[in-house]
Structure formats: structure tokens, C-alpha cells
Amino acid sequence: MNPVRLRRLWTVLLVLLAGAVGTALIVWALQRNITFLHSPTEVLAGKVPEGARFRLGGILLEGSVQREVGSLRVGFKVTDRFNDFPVVYEGILPDMFREGTSVIATGRIRDGVLVADEVLAKHDEQYMPKEVADAIAAAKAKEAAAAASASAAGNEDAAGSDTPAGSSPAADTADTSAAQPASGA
């Protein structure tokens, strides 16, 4: 092979090798820094790999915030209105951190609790991630359907309690009209 061609071949191979190494390093760095957002239901279903860093998104459950006296350690629960998941955070919380607002906690699960190293709170209506909003909307729809079926069952019980067993209101009306004497004869 001609020495010039051999030198060009080595140069091309070295450039391709450097490109492959650079691409591998970029992919490795991106994989280490990616944190996926999960709802409490997904976490409880085991969709989060063991020891993985992830983001837990949902609503700060009312009445769940517990602060340790003399410490920055705070425990609270995040809910998607189906399930809730406990979180522990040590640090200064955002000003918008209030019960009933959207939060995202980033960390790892340790002993069944998310140990968060970062907590974000909702700052406006557009802040809630789409997955969390969808989970909450599904929970509200399920609650509304359950309430509608419960009220329908309650209405059937109320209607049935006015009439004696084995009769219907229509039958009672027919019986009373037949028992009245015909007038005008």
C-alpha cells in the first residue's frame, strides 16, 4: 500500500475511534443525569428500579407535613389521589411549599421512603407535569364515578323505602283509582 494512503487510512481510523469514544462518553453522562418522573402509584407498583435516582411528582397531601423540632428535616407524603408515598427532605423548602399544591421531589428510595435531595413546588398552573396532571384527572374521574354510583344507589333505596315491600308506586296509583266509585252515572 502506498505510504500516503496508509497514513490517510490511519488518520480516518483514529478520527472514527475518537468520535466513537466521544459519543460513548456523552451517552454515559446523559444516562447518569437522566431522572424520570413517576407518580406514587407507579412507585408503589415497582416501576422504579432499585436504587435509581428519580423524580416523584404529585400533590402534597393535606395534613402530612411533619417537621422535626430544631432541624431542617421535614417528612411529608406526595399523592396522586390514588396512592401516596412518604418523602423525607433535609434542607430549606421552597416558599410555595404548601399542602394541596403540586410538588416534585428528586432522590432515591431508602427503606420504603424517598430520601429527597431536591424539592420543587408549583409556582403557577402550568408547572404540573403532564403525567401528574393526567393521574390526578383520572383519580378525580374515578371518584366522581364512585360518587355517582353511590348516589344512584342511595336514590334507589330512598324510592324503595316509601312503598311497601312487593309493590311499586305505579301499582298503588292504579289501585286507588280503581277503588274510587265512578261519578256521574
Report yes or no on 154 lying in a domain: no
- pLDDT band per the 50, 70, 90 thresholds, residue 156: low
Report yes or no on 79 lying in a domain: yes
- pLDDT band per the 50, 70, 90 thresholds, residue 133: confident
pLDDT tens figures, 64-100? 999 999 999 999 999 988 899 999 999 999 988 888 8
Give the pLDDT confidence score for residue 129 in this predicted structure.
66
Residue with the bigger pLDDT between 174 and 4: it is: 4
Give the pLDDT confidence score for residue 164 in this predicted structure.
47
Q: CATH number of the domain that 73 lies in?
A: 2.40.50.140
Report yes or no on 144 lying in a domain: no
Report yes or no on 64 lying in a domain: yes
Answer yes or no: is pLDDT of 180 > 70: no
Report yes or no on 176 lying in a domain: no
- pLDDT band per the 50, 70, 90 thresholds, residue 152: confident
pLDDT tens figures, 20-73? 999 999 888 877 667 788 899 999 998 888 788 899 999 999 999 999 999 999
Give the pLDDT confidence score for residue 159 in this predicted structure.
54
- pLDDT band per the 50, 70, 90 thresholds, residue 185: very low
The residue with cell 371518584 is: 143
Distance CA 57, CA 63 (A): 18
Residue with the bigger pLDDT between 143 and 34: it is: 143
Report yes or no on 76 lying in a domain: yes
Q: How many domains does the chain have?
A: 1
Report yes or no on 178 lying in a domain: no
Give the pLDDT confidence score for residue 85 in this predicted structure.
95
Residue-averaged pLDDT of the chain: 80
Distance CA 87, CA 78 (A): 7
Which residue range forms the structural domain that includes residue 72? 37-132
| pTM assigned to the model | 0.56
The residue with cell 456523552 is: 26
